[in-house]
Structure 1
């Protein structure tokens, strides 16, 4: 679910040019857009959207195909998607900031 929200947010950013983020993140993205140029920013955003969409589709198919009655889950499942989304988002932001 978190991946689909990130995918929708990236599509919204790609179509409108606006972001749904904190003030600091918006400033970083605006600087990134000005620094890289419009064409390069658009190309990077399209690439990001495609990768996130493919990962979301693969993960969704995996969830529907996996037989969870057979698999033994001894760990708290509820925390891992949030931790994974948070780590992935922060790694992406760090990579974008280091590319400035």
Structure 2
């Protein structure tokens, strides 16, 4: 079943591109000190890694995965990028006062 991998990867790439466009419009083209900018681009890199994973996960007619190393590495790198992007979006400090309000 390769088709769901390919369509899911395309959806990830589109969402990553939309995120980059949205952040670029709000913070600028290259703002390396902006956590939002870093998160959007880290997310985009994760989406590209997931795309590479889908390419590697292609099942040949013989029933063998085309490139298992690429499939596994792409999945791992993509997931790691998504984790880093999520961590970048966490507030810098947790305020107990804000939680009670």
- TM-score interval (norm. to shorter): 0.3 to 0.5
TM-score, normalization: structure 1? Answer: 0.41
Bigger relative CO (Cα 8 Å, ≥ 6 apart): 1
Tell me which structure has the larger Cα radius of gyration.
2
TM-score, normalization: structure 2? Answer: 0.41
